[in-house]
Structure 1
Amino acid sequence: MTTPIPPHDAPHDLGPGRTRAGDQARPRPRGIPRSVVTEHDEQLCRTRDVLGRVGDKWSMSVVYELGQGSRRFTEIKRAMPGVSQRMLTATLRGLERDGLLTRTVHPVVPPRVDYELTPLGQTLLEAAWPLMTWVVEHTDDVETARLKYDAQ
């Protein structure tokens, strides 16, 4: 039997009854072995990690752009006003690492790099499309609600 790996946000062992500030140790339900709780926590941690990637400020914009076909770095950057070169590079690398896009370097001078969605990235686009549609349709409503709230 393998020892479960605790999630990265689990309370660290600082001694009996002590945890870092902000850590909240959850009691284990009676009759459920520690390994089951740890496996569940680990799955939640992994899920939060993926949601963190796809829910960050720029990732879905990149996925949307690449949903229209292969793009060069400069084309993606031009389509995303406000993103810095450094942030776009980091976002593209993260999406590539997660298997959502591929990066193809063409051996020409100057170097040409193309990015394109993988089949996994395409499934993300398909899953996120209804949410993106909702955001476009309701942005004005959200802004109105914010103004009303802020006026209170």
Structure 2
Amino acid sequence: MPMTLARLRQEPALRLRVLAGHDLLDRPVGWVHVSELDDPTPFLEGGELLLTTGLRVDADTDFRAFVARLVDREVAGLGFGIGLGHDVVPVGLVTAADEAGLPLLEVPKRTPFIAISKAVSAAVAADSYAEVTATNAAQRELTAAALTGSGTVDKGVKAR
């Protein structure tokens, strides 16, 4: 089962809080990327949870343009770490994310970004393992059907 923002939010050790996009948490998270760039989109493929501490963000930041670039790149969501550059997630960012339909998660200072990355990585690895296991089981079944000469697989599928 792919990692989603909802599943990630349910990990109690991460202590993530949803600030925007509450109804969009079923989005799958393919990977996690950390960036403090004004425009990280050239380094994204889509489907990522982008994490930032907002070190380059101030009162003059155009949050609507920033969020629009992330939405256009089809990121899964944005995680904003508080406690370093900002005590709270900037209100302008929350508003822009809410208006654009971008899930926004508050990441408390005591939650290391690497913990979020590890949770997503473990889910990606589990999905890959499940896919390989299912493929191997199907191949074993087809091989057994071919060797016994029955021409059928346990599930009633005729082998050619």
Higher RCO (CA < 8 A, seq sep 6+):
2
More strand by share: 2
**Under a length normalisation based on structure 1, what TM-score does the superposition of the two structures give?**
0.32
With normalisation by structure 2, the TM-score equals 0.30
Greater percentage in helix: 1
